[in-house]
Structures are given as structure tokens and as C-alpha cells.
Amino acid sequence: MTDRRPTPISAEQQGAVDLLGVLAYGALLAFDRLAADARKAPSLAERVHVAHLAARQMAHFRRVQSRLAELGTDETRAVEPVRGAFDAFHRHAEPNGWFEGLVWSYVAQGIAADFYREIAAFVDPLTQAVVLEVLAEEPDDDFVVRTVRAGVRADPRLAGRLALWGRRLVGEALSQAQRVAADRPSLTSLLTGTGAEPGMDLAVISQTFARLIENHTVRMRTLGLQS
């Protein structure tokens, strides 16, 4: 083995690498979650459908991997700083059964996608293209919406449990996003512009979070659930 030192990364590229790291690890954990959910599907057709959704996460991962290589780094290094927050989210928001798994994929991936989209506006055009391309292919909302609505029709008690679950997910997601924002100034400075005053940062971040919560409310309503 030769000693291959990483190419130094410019300060402005660090934000892009951080975003790609978040996207990569998010895809890997979504793959895990969806693969586990597939096993809980009540029918073979649904199992196959969710397994395909899982596989698609790895296609996203591959695209992010290529962009990281172009930026002179790799997924192992890019993912390291954000692993803690993601692992905590997945540990604290473990779905229980088929329907909670579906709501998880819709709600958590929805919030994540909104968050990535907000940040993608501020990275270099090539990274932005990769992020938007991956997001454009994102979740098969129709399948989840149809299945959850049918589930609630068949068992109305499910509505309350899933509404609670959605609230827990958004709370946990925002608390972990805050943790990433605090740990990675390179990401937050993308949102707020470098050199902004600390108080300013906080205002921009809370506006971003307000938009994330608004979109979340719309998603819960689409599922036929109270937010």
C-alpha cells in the first residue's frame, strides 16, 4: 500500500463535500431501513416494491460517490463527520412495523430532501446538479400515500398512532439537523453566507427550519394524518 494523501480541499469546497457526505450516509441508512421494511411487507408485490426503493438508494449513493471522487475525496472521509447525528436519528426513530416504516420513509426522506435542496442552492454547479438529480428521483410518494391511506381506512385506530409517529420523526430529525448544523459550520455558512454575524445565522436557520416544518405539515395531510 502506498501512502495516498488526500488532495487538500478548499474552504468553499468543504461545504459541498459535507453536503455530499450527508447525502451519501443518508442514502446508505435509507437503504438499510427500506431493506428491513421490505421484509415486513404483507404481500410479495409490496415487498418487491420496497426492495426496489432500497436498491435505488444505492444508485443515488453511487452518483454521490463519483462526485466526491471528482472533488478529490471519498465517501469514508466525507461521511465521518455526520455519522454521529445520523446514527442517533436512526436509533431514536426506529419504526415499529410496516406502516410506521412507510411513514418513516415518506416523512424522514421528505424532510431530508427539503434540507438538501435548501443547501444545494449554495454549492458549486456540478455538485448542485448531482444533488438535484438524486432528489428528482426521490421517493415513490404515490405508493406510500395509497398504502397508508388504505391502511387507515381498514383500521382507523392507526391514524392516531401514525400521527404521533410523524410528530416524533420531525422532532428527532430537526434536533439531529441542529446537531449537524452546530458541528459543521461549513454547512451552515452555506445557508447564511460566510462572515454573517452569529445572531444572523440563527435567524436564517430558524427560517429554514420553519419551511421544513411547513412542508412536513403538508406531507402529513397528504397521508391523511394530523401533523
Nearest approach, Cβ of residue 12 and a second copy (Å): 25
Nearer to a second copy, 49 or 179 (CB): 49
Nearest approach, Cβ of residue 60 and a second copy (Å): 10
Residues lying near a second copy in the complex (CB under 8 A): 28, 31-32, 35-36, 38-39, 43-45, 47-48, 51-52, 54-59, 61-62, 65, 75-76, 79
Nearer to a second copy, 170 or 180 (CB): 180
Nearer to a second copy, 11 or 45 (CB): 45
Please answer whether residues 219 and 209 qualify as being in contact, where contact means their C-beta atoms are separated by less than 8 angstroms. Answer: no
Residue whose C-alpha is closest to residue 18's, from 218, 163, 188: 188
CA 200 to CA 102: how far, in whole Å?
Answer: 37
The identity of residue 36, as a single letter, is A
Nearest approach, Cβ of residue 178 and a second copy (Å): 24
Nearer to a second copy, 140 or 201 (CB): 140
Nearer to a second copy, 48 or 218 (CB): 48
Nearer to a second copy, 35 or 174 (CB): 35
Nearest approach, Cβ of residue 105 and a second copy (Å): 15
Q: What is the dihedral of CA 170, 176, 181, 186, to 10 degrees?
A: -120
**DSSP characters over 6-41:** PPP--HHHHHHHHHHHHHHHHHHHHHHHHHHHHTT-
Nearest approach, Cβ of residue 100 and a second copy (Å): 19
**DSSP characters over 76-109:** HHHHGGGHHHHHHHHHH----SHHHHHHHHHHHH
Nearest approach, Cβ of residue 195 and a second copy (Å): 34
CA 63 to CA 219: how far, in whole Å?
Answer: 27
